[in-house]
Amino acid sequence: MRQYLGVFVGVMLGVVGALLFGQSKPPPAGSVAEEVEKAERLLRGAEREIRELGSDGMRARKRLRSQGAQNILNDIVSGKGASLDDVFGLTKPFLIDMSPLINRIRVKEEKEHFDGVAGRYGRKYDLTDRQQAGLREWLDQRAESNAAEFVNVLTNPKTTLLDMIKAGHDAERNIQGIDGFMEGQLSGQALADFKQDRMMERIESVEHESNGRLHRLDNLVELDPEQEDQLFYMMARGSQQYVPAMEIEGMTGSRLPMDTAQRNREIRTVLRPERIEVYDNAHIQGTNAVGGMIVAGPEGFQKSQYRKFNIRGEDLTPGDDYGMMREVMRRRFSRLVKDEAEGEEVVRPDLLLIDGGAGQLAEVLAVMAEMGVDDIAVVGVAKGPDRDAGLTPRKTLVASQGRPAPHARRTPPRHHPPTGAPPPRYLPPHPPNQSLAGPDLDPGG
């Protein structure tokens, strides 16, 4: 058998060699085989070029990212600084490349959290095995949807860092629609208990959100108790979790929900300044210098409050607008500071408008800082650089970093503790036999 085995192997090698030789011969000119071979060569060449271009593109993208990182570093070192959006723009291509992995991670985390929700609901409302299986299936689908919504925002070329943060917050543990699902599964006392629990969860969320927003606003502007109440109601009605069935202590008027634009319009009506003081200086070729103050409020100009300051400073250079502004500010606020220190009733402006640019604004802020008056907003109104002679002058606003106060206080300002927050304002909700409407909350978060 061994002698035959060698012959068999030799024959097989000869057959294979003949086949390969036959395939290596060019096909007949003009035949279909020749056309097929040409097409295959072109296809292989195109695939090779695509791979090379892809390789070059990856190298180019890496170079661009490296250069972008270097530019941001240079800006930071030079003192220009860098915004979070700059950093996000640099890392966004990487995040997009990683989006499939991010999606799987978010789905896994959501499902792990929702397992706890399903177990808690199953025990609390005595769900049957079939109901628990249905709930787990619904929650798994919700987890997939939440992760997909986040990745869709992440991969959008126009997405900013704020968009991504908001999308992450909105998608995280979002079980919108759970009320409708559970109301289809439960009945009797279990259904009533579920509605009551869900209402209380929503109340706690709205209360926490509204108090947080109000506290942040109170850190920016000085609010009196009446304004705090009004704004709290507006924040509550503007929350996505708010429903009219909630009972809010002291709320009067409409109980309907408000969208963001409507809420912001309502807030501006509460925060409008009640006293605006406008200052300007004038002189006649350096002599007869005077400063003027006009006052406006919600009802218009208050002419009885107007005041003229005869500039008396002997050390002022004629026509020194900065020096004139310093004298006017010192005379206006020295008396106010003195009266407040003595417990006298004073009228504080909510906003100062200064006729002048950055120079005049800096002088005013320096005087106010010297006197300890740091809670009044100051805006300089300067003639724009592109104004046209003989035409209506264009103006440029130069805002200060002062803290605006939205109302004229008749007493020294109140101060909240840095970590304080307005107290809760909710009473128990209406009876739980009402169907819930609106976005849903995660009962465990």
pLDDT one-digit tens code per residue, 60-117: 455 555 665 666 667 666 766 666 777 777 777 878 888 888 888 888 888 888 899 8
Mean pLDDT confidence for 255-267: 89
Evaluate whether 354 touches 279 at the Cβ level (below 8 Å).
yes
Distance of CA 267 to the CA centre of its chain: 18
Evaluate whether 368 touches 307 at the Cβ level (below 8 Å).
no
Q: Lowest mean pLDDT: which of 17-21, 30-34, 142-146, 396-400?
A: 17-21
For 276-399, the fitting CATH number among 3.40.50.920, 3.40.30.10, 3.30.420.340, 3.20.20.70 is: 3.30.420.340
In angstroms, the CA 71 to CA 371 distance is 43
Please check the confidence at residue 25 and state whether its pLDDT lies above 60. no
Range picked from 5-9, 267-271, 392-396 for highest mean pLDDT: 267-271
Percentage of the residues of the chain whose pLDDT score is greater than 70: 67
The per-residue pLDDT for 390 is 46
- Residue with more model confidence, 93 or 8: 93
| First CA to last CA distance, the chain | 80
Confidence of residue 135 (pLDDT cuts 50, 70, 90): very high
- CA torsion 31-33-35-36 (nearest 10°) is 160
- Residue with more model confidence, 26 or 5: 26
Please check the confidence at residue 385 and state whether its pLDDT lies above 90. no
Confidence of residue 444 (pLDDT cuts 50, 70, 90): very low
Please check the confidence at residue 294 and state whether its pLDDT lies above 50. yes
Please check the confidence at residue 377 and state whether its pLDDT lies above 70. yes
Please check the confidence at residue 307 and state whether its pLDDT lies above 80. yes
Residue carrying the six token digits 């040409």: 38
- Residue with more model confidence, 47 or 132: 132
Q: Which pLDDT tens digit goes with each residue over 245-257?
A: 887 777 778 889 9
Mean pLDDT confidence for 352-364: 88
Q: Which pLDDT tens digit goes with each residue over 320-340?
A: 888 889 999 999 999 889 888
Q: Lowest mean pLDDT: which of 13-22, 136-145, 238-247, 416-425?
A: 416-425
Domain boundaries, the chain: 36-69, 84-186, 191-271, 276-399
Please check the confidence at residue 147 and state whether its pLDDT lies above 60. yes
Please check the confidence at residue 388 and state whether its pLDDT lies above 60. no
Q: Which pLDDT tens digit goes with each residue over 169-224?
A: 776 667 888 999 999 999 999 999 999 998 888 888 899 889 988 888 887 777 88
Beta bridge partners of 276: 296, 351
- Which segments of 368-419 are extended strands (E)? 377-383, 395-399
Please check the confidence at residue 314 and state whether its pLDDT lies above 60. yes
Has this prediction a pTM greater than 0.85? no
Please check the confidence at residue 9 and state whether its pLDDT lies above 50. no
Nearest partner of 190 among 124, 131, 140, 256, judged by Cα: 124
Between the CA of residue 67 and those of 54, 58, 74, 82, 393, what are the distances in Å?
20, 14, 10, 15, 44
The per-residue pLDDT for 57 is 45
- Residue with more model confidence, 136 or 78: 136
The per-residue pLDDT for 77 is 67
| Mean pLDDT computed over every residue of the chain | 74
In angstroms, the CA 192 to CA 72 distance is 57
The per-residue pLDDT for 72 is 66
Q: Which pLDDT tens digit goes with each residue over 233-247?
A: 999 999 888 988 887
Strands 377-383 and 395-399: antiparallel
441: left (phi over 0), alpha (psi -120 to 50) or beta: beta
Burial class (CB in 10 A: 0-12, 13-18, 19+), 354: buried
